[in-house]
Chain A
Amino acid sequence: MIRVKDLSFSYTGKPFLENISFEVGRGEIFGFLGPSGAGKSTLQKILTGLLSDYRGSAVVNGIEVKRHTNSFYENIGVDFEFPSLYEKLTAKQNLEFFGLLYQRKLITIPDLLRMVHLENDADKKVSDFSKGMKSRLNFIKALLHNPDILFLDEPTSGLDPSNSYDMKKIIKAERDRGKTIILTTHNMLDATELCDRVAFIVDGKIKALDTPHNLIMSKGAAKLCYAYFEGREKSGECLLSHTGSDELLKKLISDNKLLSIHSSEPTLNDIFMEITGRALQ
């Protein structure tokens, strides 16, 4: 559905995005993960046709993006980083208005509102919405015309845990329905949980691209951490694969001296730091 090859782009003449290549298939959630200013939103703007003077190729739904016509947008849903709604209209009126711009069969407005628990706020003006409510409305606006490709820029930012959980459930359900989803985020927990594959983007370049699982397994191995008392509380650690050769650990176990013990897998955040030398959040 999306094929990007040797893509480069610059806002200023100074190279910014460089040699980006990747492909995303049907029914896949693909994550852009990277620190602030890395170029995630820029890449999304290119793929949604908002920046057209790029070099290389970006094909979305069979169309080279810089040569898109207006019907290109019938099949694309975009959830921007910031609310893009009529403040003086109600939630329902906003959805009605945007719905009229598409020829495709729409998802009904009550269904959409119910999905994100806004059914009781349908007739409230957007200007009276909280930040999280605006984010949820902005999100369902992207789903309104039931597009095959979704671009979601930080969809869960500003949501409470329960709404964030529900939104992630919706995103996965859309994927299972065969949609192609590009998810931009700096939340590595969301990325691990949602994405089939992620691209680490730093300073306009892709530094790694794989499934979250492979990225985690390829680098740091799982570790065992334990604590014990020896004059004061001390801690030790060893690789899970080498527990048998940790003499101290064996002795602590046989003497029943362990205060705590747990295994810890590296998180995507650890891997990100290891590969890019930079923190994600």
Chain B
Amino acid sequence: MRFRGLLLGDIRFQFKYGFYFLYVLLTFVFIAVINAVPAAFKAKTAAVIIFTDPATLGIFFMGAIILLEKSQRVLNSLAVSPIKIWEYIAAKVVSLSIISTTVGFVLGVAAGAGGIASVALGTFLGSVLFTLLGIIIAAQTNSLNRFIITTVPAMLFLMVPPFFELFGYDSNIFNLYPSNIVLRIIAGNAENWLLEIPAVAMWIIFFYVIAHGRVSKMLRSIGGIKL
């Protein structure tokens, strides 16, 4: 009940702030791009687009959403309501992953990608990871500037290694790196499922635990104590 309420609230919030509209528009643009490249590169182009956009959109959207919640003091109201921290986080993660996974799926279909289930799964996992990362960063920032300054290096760390791998520079160090696994799954290059899925799950749990601590701190610091 409470979780459903939070989830519907988040979806409505994202709708009102035009996230859905934006992504319908972007999806058309992306489809146009995918159609413009030669057939041989379609799948790879789609993978790059999906990985750099729908799979990672969570981080920036999360920043926007939490900073808006802070500025409208909605977090104060939530802090004195019976919600649990996992409900708050899960609602954000699920609501954004609905947008991501849908867009990933549509782009995968548009590119004629072979393993469409794999594309959707990779997008979903990426979305969960990056949304959690967005929560971790946004929970401890109070301004958009600070958020962006912290996000850019985090994005570089996560986004660069997968591209080396995609374009043929193979290094075993990054075999179990979360973003590498995500791009591998999106691009249909995943082979070692028994290792990769548990590895991503571990990364998600790890990010979740940090996010839980950060959100708990954020809600407690509404009283004004810097923790």
Q: Which residues of A contact B13 (CB under 8 A)?
A: 86, 88-89
The size of the chain A interface, using a CB distance under 8 A, is 34
Q: Are B77 and A85 in contact (CB under 8 A)?
A: yes
- Picked from B5, B77, B84, B224, the residue with its CB within 8 Å of the CB of A84 is B77
Across the two chains, which residue of chain B brings its CB closest to A101?
A: B81
| CA distance in complex: A83, B71 (Å) | 11
Chain A residues with Cβ below 8 Å from B220 are 50, 52
Residues of B45-86 contacting chain A, CB below 8 A: 72-84
B39 close to A (CB within 8 Å): no
Q: State the Cβ distance, A45 to closest chain B Cβ, in Å.
A: 5
**B80 and A50 contact, CB distance less than 8 A:** yes
Are A50 and B81 CB-contacts (below 8 A) given A86-B72, A89-B12? no
A22 within 8 A of B: no
Whether the pair A84, B16 counts as a contact (CB closer than 8 A) is no
Is A120 engaged at the interface, CB distance under 8 Å to the other chain?
Answer: no
* Chain B 4-19 interface residues, beta-carbon cutoff 8 Å to A: 4-6, 8-9, 12-13, 16-17
Tell me, rounded to whole Å, the shortest Cβ–Cβ distance linking A252 to chain B. Answer: 58
In the complex, B1 has a CB within 8 A of chain A:
yes
A102, B82: Cβ atoms closer than 8 Å? yes
| Chain A residue, CB-CB nearest to B79 | A50
Judging by beta carbons under 8 Å apart, are B9 and A70 in contact?
A: no
CB distance B16 to A51 under 8 Å?
no
Distance of A109 from chain B, by nearest CB (Å): 14
A76 at the interface (CB under 8 A from B): yes
Bound-state CA distance A71–B76 (Å) is 16
Are B223 and A50 in contact, CB atoms less than 8 angstroms apart?
Answer: yes
Q: How far is the CA of A84 from the CA of B84 in the complex (A)?
A: 19
A98 sits at the interface (CB 8 A): yes
Q: What 1/0 mask marks residues of chain B from 140 to 177 whose CB sits below 8 Å from any chain A CB?
A: 00000000000000000000000000000000000000
Say yes or no: is B225 at the interface (Cβ < 8 Å to chain A): yes
Bound together, the chains give a CA A255 to CA B116 distance in angstroms of 106
Q: B174 CB to closest chain A CB, in angstroms?
A: 40
Tell me whether B82 and A103 are in contact (CB under 8 A): yes
Query: Roughly how many angstroms separate A101 CA and B5 CA in the complex, as a whole number?
Result: 6
A82 sits at the interface (CB 8 A)? yes
A229 an interface residue at 8 Å Cβ cutoff? no
Bound: A20/B212 CA distance, A: 33
Sample (26) of A-B pairs whose CB atoms are under 8 Å apart: A11-B225, A50-B79, A50-B220, A70-B82, A73-B80, A73-B82, A78-B77, A78-B80, A80-B77, A83-B72, A83-B73, A84-B75, A85-B77, A86-B13, A86-B72, A97-B5, A98-B81, A99-B5, A100-B1, A100-B5, A101-B78, A101-B81, A101-B83, A102-B81, A102-B82, A103-B82
A66 to chain B minimum Cβ distance, whole angstroms, is 11
| Shortest beta-carbon distance from A138 to chain B in Å | 9
Are A71 and B12 touching (Cβ within 8 A)?
Answer: no
List A contacts of B77 (CB < 8 A).
Answer: 78, 80, 84-85, 98, 141
Point out the residues of chain B lying under 8 angstroms from A196, CB to CB. none
Chain A residues with CB under 8 Å of B1's CB are 100, 103
CA distance A99 to B223 in the complex (A): 23
A87 touching B83 by the CB < 8 A rule?
A: no
| A82-B73, A83-B72, A103-B82 given; 20 more Cβ-contact pairs under 8 Å | A11-B224, A45-B223, A48-B80, A49-B80, A50-B220, A70-B83, A78-B77, A80-B76, A84-B72, A85-B73, A86-B13, A86-B72, A88-B13, A97-B8, A97-B12, A100-B1, A100-B8, A101-B5, A101-B83, A103-B1
Residue of A nearest to B2 (CB): A101
The answer to whether A51 and B225 touch across the interface, beta carbons within 8 angstroms, is yes
B222 within 8 A of A: yes
Contact of B84 among A70, A86, A89, A99 (CB under 8 A): A70
A104 nearest in chain B by CB position: B82
Minimum distance in angstroms from A79 CB to a CB of chain B: 10
Mask: chain A, 57-90; 1 = CB below 8 Å from B; 0 = not: 0000000000000111110101010111111110
Do A101 and B225 touch across chains, with their CB atoms under 8 A apart? no
A19 within 8 A of B: no
- Interface check A93, CB cutoff 8 A: yes
Interface status of A246 (Cβ within 8 A of chain B) = no
Query: In the complex, which residues of chain A have a beta carbon less than 8 angstroms from the beta carbon of B78?
Result: 101
Closest 6 CB pairs of A and B: A100-B5, A50-B223, A51-B223, A84-B73, A84-B77, A84-B76
Which A residues from 24 to 60 make CB contacts under 8 A with B? 45-46, 48-53
